[in-house]
Amino acid sequence: MTSERKAGDRQGTRVPPREAYVWIWLPGSMEPVVAGRLARDGDLHVFNYGRSYLERPDAIPIFLPELPLQRGVLVPPPPLDLAGALRDGSPALKLTGRSAPDHPWVPRALRPLAGVGGAHI
């Protein structure tokens, strides 16, 4: 065989990622830069701007007032479990065509609303 499964692997089982890097195109730039890191913390998805991003003279906040340009963990405002700006910009939702209620990055509070009438994000 060309590939072998390791003991304990389940075919078709996928573990959702626990963290993701968030990239941003700064005004006037031709290339994106890493703005920070999104990570799961229990039921929440918290965001931290990267130190090198914060030290850039051209750094801008991703979205105010949700993600102000500051050091430390940024927790999404209730009732969200992921900052709305990050959810809206998620390539996983846009490229996979998955139904919002089924997608692991969609905040729990929005899942019933997003699924009404078979809506897709």
pLDDT, tens only, 66-119: 999 999 999 999 999 999 999 887 765 554 555 444 555 555 554 444 443 333
Closest CA to 96 of 19, 16, 34, 1: 16
Any residues with CB less than 8 A from the CB of 44 and at least 6 apart, and which? 75, 76, 81, 82
Which of 11-15, 51-55, 83-87 is least confident?
A: 11-15
Residue 28 has pLDDT above 70, yes or no: yes
Tell me what percent of the residues of the chain surpass a pLDDT of 70: 62
More confident residue, 94 or 31: 31
Torsion angles phi and psi, residue 49, rounded to 5: -70, 145
Extents of the domains making up the chain: 19-118
In the prediction, which pLDDT does 95 show?
Answer: 47
pTM: 0.65
Most confident residue range from 8-17, 19-28, 92-101: 19-28
DSSP secondary structure, 34-72, as one string: EEEEEEEETTEEEEEE-HHHHT-TT---SBTTTB-S-SS
Place of tokens 């060309």: 2
**Whole-angstrom Cα distance, residue 78 to residue 81?**
7
Using pLDDT thresholds of 50, 70 and 90, give the confidence band for residue 3: very low
Closest CA to 82 of 22, 13, 25, 15: 22
